[in-house]
Structure 1
Amino acid sequence: MSVVEILPTGVSPADVVAVARGDATVELSAAASAAMTDSRAIVAEIERQERPVYGVSTGFGALANTFIDPQRRTELQHALLRSHAAGVGARMPTEVVRAMLLLRVRSLAKGLSGVRPVVAERLIDLLNHGITPWVPEHGSLGASGDLAPLAHCGLVLTGEGWVVGKDGARLPAGQVLGEAGLAPVELAAKEGLALINGTDGMLGMLLLAAEDAAHLFTMADVTAALAIEAMLGTDRPFQPELHAIRPHPGQRDSAGNLARLLRSSAIMDSHRDDLEHAVQDAYSMRCAPQVAGAARDTLAFAVGVADRELASVVDNPVVLPDGRVESTGNFHGAPLGFAADYLAIAAAEVGAISERRVDRLLDVTRSRGLPPFLTPDPGVNSGLMIAQYTAAGLVAENRRLAAPASVDSLPTSGMQEDHVSMGWAATVKLRTVLDNLTSLLAVELLAAVRGLQLRAPLTPSPAGQAAIAAVSEFFGEPGPDAFLAPAMESGRAVIKGRELRAAIEAAGPPLA
């Protein structure tokens, strides 16, 4: 079990993934605790002076000009969480909520939020005790950050709100805290606001999506190579000198993968000098690295945005070391929303070109000798005909989801928050696009493997042999139609997992 130590300098993307998806535990460093203590002392001094400071001695949003009496400021912080925990819909996945909790700790630990260390420590207790707040899907506009989702998290610290039970049931937070031996926190001035004013939800989802996209884009090269091999395509377009003259780094890496994956194939060798097969392949084959490579470059941009956000303080107001408390707009999620929308477009196109190769594999007029719909007994059997229908439906959905959320600003809070980012919506739909891409690549994997099997007795590349071995247990040999949905689900598991890639890399250089 690894340990993630929260320093004032922040955490890494790998730390977020380890806590969100793994069993890593979290610790607050002494340096972070000291930075928070110093910041809290500034807030305490402001309270003693009784001067109006947003979030400390005033209301919030459109009520920012309302002065709050000192004796009601604790009540103010608790009321803020109750009123802002107003989400609806299905609960967010546990990994997303855990990422949010860690990222909120990371922001508070930078010592610019004016909260006591105990607040961060209680968030860490939730993570280390496996207590996951129940956070509904809908509620955030990415305006002052992810207000509603973070309020559902923060409310749990006070013993109110909901948490997720072991069986997925919704349980009262107070009950679960008590069973874990954790006491509710009574929030002081500024602390409720500091718990909810940030981009932690959308940032967490973008970081998790980037992790997934990096793997899926490599697997897209794998399934593309298998399909090209099964269709008697040529590997000549993937020569490195052809990509050196158009030096996009993602394209170079993707082409390198394809060239590497297609080596040592008796199927490829069988038609290498046949002009009918080796002049020019269709775009879905020949341009695979141009599309997948552009997606890789888009991912690199999104990762850069996420890295900068991970190093940022997005609270409002911030408590500066010189004693000033200044309002900022750093909570606005535009950078993350734009990046998520951009990456969704790229991932959708990786899926779209994959579906075109599937359609070509199944079409007897274009598959270069393969039987209709990849069944040796067409007519009685339909083979993978309807699997391509499913792929087409997923491509259509991804096209709808690729429409940007970040242009959908709607004003809120009495026009105080008159432009919002919709970054939460952008990152939610990005995750859906990537899940759909997983299914699309699974369909291509099955279709390509069936095509390679039907080229027997010619032997495929080592990558092709590894793919056949990976799916043989649940997909078998060409023959009569069988219940296809379970094979497609198992194909998704192969695409999501790391075993096939490891098997391919065991026989040669690593894939990019």
Structure 2
Amino acid sequence: MTFETKNIIIDGYSLSFENIVEFIQYPNIKVTLSAAAIERVKHYRAAVDQWLLEDKKAIYGVTTGLGKLKDYVIDEHDQNAFQQNIFLSHAVGLGPDFPEPVVRLAMLLRANVLARGHSGVRVEMIERLLLLLNKGVIPCVPQIGSLGVGDLQPMAHIGLCMVGAPEGRARYNGEEGKSNTLLEKANIVPVQFNLKAKEALALIDGSTMVLASSLFAYYQTEQLCRTADMAAAMTIEATRGELDALDPRIHEANNLYTEQETARIIYEFLKGSQWCTAEGRQRLGEFSPRVQDAVSIRSTAQVHGAIKDVLLYVKSILVREMNASKDNPLIFSDGAKFESLSGGNYHGAHLSYALDFMGIVITDMAIISERRSARLLDPIMSYGLPANLIAVAGLNTGFALVHANATAIVSEMRILATPASVGSVPSKGNQEDHNSMAMTGVRKLMKMIDHAQQVLSIELLLSAQAIDLITENMDGLAMGKGTNSLHQWIRQSINPMWEDRYILRDLQKMIGLVESGEILDQFPPIKLFPIQ
């Protein structure tokens, strides 16, 4: 696969995470099949045509029904109706729709899987899927229904749109409507597209929608990691923390590369700080040596580093899954003959475990952030910051209730962090008697990411307020270069609060700066950590 700006050429084998990031960030990127993929797909499709016309083989989902109906034979003349019936019977998803970037990713990923050839579809079918993607006709896909052993329900909704069925819903140029109407508006012809044997099943099999959601969630989580490091640095500055905890010798001795990088990143934000010195601490009456801070301050690099280390493992799974044949049955060739094999590559176990891991570490990221925020409100734990971060307490309540949100959110995240992967429930007459429940995992993970963004926003808002409250005490002492820049940037949008006001607007604005990624655009990104 080759990659150029605004163009991805897929071959089924070399899609990279960097391509995924570009694809998310630039929705107008076009996707096409490589010449080698086209020849490979034609080669494998010839086997399916031969089995249908000459050998009359019993092949699951090709000449047989699905699931418990695997013993029912599908006649050749019924194939077109069978393909349509697969979509109509499976497109029964419920709940809110997936975000549009996730659906776009699912279309890209499924096309890449089909480009490997083992699914036995026609080139025309893959190109039809890419045509919708490139034209910007994006199916509306409900989130509930998949059990993580093939995303049959959500992908069937994409299938209805791909073939131009009026039952399909889609979005095009900001308009939502029936897929056949929107395909016509996008000048996609023919509006009605007939699938051949094997193609409907090949589209819906495999955990494609879970993988797309997982990749989007991972992309957001990398941004969360950057935000968490920035928030921690601000809190350390506001509490005049002991910087010895960031000494590289400590982290080299712990032998965790991601921890070493995290310590370096936080230190770079605090570099040059005179607040985080004995002189700075004395300005608020702290005359005894600090020696060391509480764990939520002192061990931030260790915790954030461990989170990133787990995420690297998750990333390795996602990258492998992007370029794997996630289908059943699969077609293989030794050059002389073809063979169809039924197996379980559609199963989403890998993804389900990875999603649970992500949920756990994101929850702990929020937990340690909430603890740092709590310290800012307490004059004892903050070494002299005003109570509730307000200049005149009593008459004014300050930020106590802002922080209460973080406490409530963390409590909910702990519940959401319960693993979905151990919750298998049999279905479909016990033919599917073990399910990965990966869709449950990814749905709750999306909520957890939203929650973590809010918790980190609270820490940033509180630490910025804390800095303002003691700036006069620190007159003549420099802040860290990075924390000073970050504080000034926040203050361009949100003013400090000297007495109570309707603070919800400020909190919502801070959350918006984090969710949109605007806060990250102001500072160099954390480099991608190589997989060790």
TM range (shorter): over 0.9
Matches of residues 262-281 of structure 1 in structure 2 within 5 Å?
Answer: 262-269=270-277, 270-271=279-280, 276=288, 278-281=290-293
3-state secondary structure, aligned to 2:333: coil
Q: Offset of 1:239 from its aligned partner?
A: 0.7
Shift of 1:334: 0.4
For 1:135 and 1:505, locate their aligned partners in 2 and report how far apart those are by CA, in whole Å: 35
- The equivalent position to 2:304 in structure 1, one of 269, 276, 292, is 292
The CA distance in 1 between the partners of 2:175 and 2:523, in whole Å, is 41
Q: 2:295 corresponds to which letter in structure 1?
A: Y
Sort the Cα spacing of 1:89 and 1:210 in 2 relative to 1 into closer, same or farther, 3 A: same
SS of alignment partner, residue 267 of structure 1: coil
Contact in 2 for aligned 1:361/1:447 (Cα 8 Å)? yes
Q: Pick one of 341, 366, 385 that aligns with 1:326.
A: 341
**What are the superposed Cα offsets for residues 30-69 of structure 1, whole Å, 9 maximum, x if unpaired?**
2211111111100000001212111111111111111111
1:71 aligns with 2:77: yes
Distance in 2, Cα, partners of 1:511 & 1:190: 40
Q: Confirm whether residue 404 of structure 1 aligns to residue 419 of structure 2.
A: yes
- Tell me whether 1:181 sits opposite 2:187 in the alignment: yes
**Cα RMSD for the two superposed structures:** 2.0
How far, CA to CA, are the matches of 1:302 and 1:379 in structure 2?
Answer: 48
Selected match of 2:449 from 434, 442, 449: 434
Q: Is 1:47 the counterpart of 2:52 in the alignment? A: yes
Matches within 5 A, 1:261-410: 261-269=269-277, 270-271=279-280, 276=288, 278-322=290-334, 323-410=338-425
Q: How is 1:33-44 mapped onto 2 (pairs within 5 angstroms)?
A: 33-44=38-49
- 8 Å Cα contact 2:137/2:172 also seen in 1: no
Q: Name the CA shift for 1:125/1:396 in 2 (closer, same or farther; >3 Å).
A: same
CA distance in 2, matches of 1:492, 1:15: 28
- Report the Cα distance in structure 2 between the residues aligned to 1:422 and 1:203, rounded to whole angstroms: 13
Q: Deviations over 1:419-456 (max 9, x none)?
A: 00011121222122111111111111111111111221
Match among 87, 102, 106 for residue 93 of structure 2: 87
Specify the code of the residue in structure 2 equivalent to 1:229.
E
Residues 277 and 503 from structure 1, CA distance in 2 versus in 1: closer, same or farther, beyond 3 angstroms? farther
CA distance in 2, matches of 1:82, 1:501: 44
- List aligned pairs for 1:33-182, cutoff 5 A: 33-48=38-53, 49-143=55-149, 145-160=150-165, 161-165=167-171, 170-182=176-188
Deviation, 1:301, is: 0.7
- Aligned positions of 1:437-452 closer than 5 A: 437-452=452-467
Deviation at 1:467, TM superposition (A): 1.6
Q: 1:275-321 CA distances to partner (integer Å, 9 max, x unpaired)? A: 63521211111111121111101100100111111121111111112
Return the alpha-carbon distance in structure 2 between the equivalents of residues 473 and 258 of structure 1.
22
How far apart, in 1, do the equivalents of 2:134 and 2:296 lie?
A: 47
Residue-by-residue CA offset, 1:385-441 (whole Å, 9 max, x unaligned): 111011111111111111111111111121111000011121222122111111111
User: CA offset at residue 352 of structure 1?
Assistant: 0.6
Deviations 1:228-284 (A, max 9, x none): 110121111111111122112222222222222221112113347966352121111
SS of aligned partner of 2:426: coil
Query: SS of 1:474's equivalent?
Result: coil
In the alignment, the residues of structure 2 paired with residue 69 and residue 222 of structure 1 have an alpha-carbon distance, to the nearest angstrom, of: 62
Sequence identity (%): 33
Q: State whether structure 2 residue 217 is matched by structure 1 residue 209.
A: yes
Gaps of 5+ in 2: none
Provide the residue aligned with 2:231 in structure 1: 223
For the residues of structure 2 that align with 1:19 and 1:155, how far apart are their CA atoms? 24
Letter in 2 for 1:371: P
Gaps of 5+ in 1: none
Deviations along 1:70-96, one digit per CA (max 9) or x if unpaired, are 111221111011101110111111011
Task: Decide which of 198, 210, 222 is 2:206's aligned counterpart.
Answer: 198
Contact 2:6/2:29 (<8 A) preserved = yes
Distance 1:413 1:221 in 2: 46
Which residue number in structure 1 is paired with residue 254 of structure 2? 246
How many residue pairs match? The answer is 509
* Separation in 1, partners of 2:503, 2:267: 31
1:5 corresponding residue in structure 2 = 9
Contact 2:112–2:323 (Cα < 8 Å) also in 1? no
Does the CA-based 8 Å contact 1:216-1:496 persist in structure 2? no
Distance 1:82 1:502 in 2: 44
Structure 1 residue aligned with 2:30: 25
Tell me the equivalent position of 1:495.
514
SS in 1 for 2:254: coil
Determine helix, strand or coil for the equivalent of 2:376: helix
Q: Which moved more, 1:426-435 or 1:412-421?
A: 426-435
Alpha-carbon distance in 2 for matches of 1:71, 1:511 = 53
Q: State the 1:500 CA deviation.
A: 4.1
Task: Give the counterpart of 1:468 among 484, 487, 501.
Answer: 487
Q: Distance in 2 between matches of 1:76 and 1:162?
A: 17
Aligned residue in 2 for 1:484: 503
Q: In structure 2, do the counterparts of structure 1 residues 168 and 407 end up closer, same or farther at CA, with 3 Å as the change threshold? A: farther
Helix, strand or coil at the partner of 2:493: helix
> Is contact 1:250-1:296 (8 Å) kept?
yes
| Alpha-carbon distance, 1:126 to partner | 1.2
SS at 2:32 equivalent: strand
Once the two structures are TM-superposed, the CA of residue 505 in structure 1 deviates from its matched residue by 4.2
Contact 2:390/2:397 (8 A) holds in 1: yes
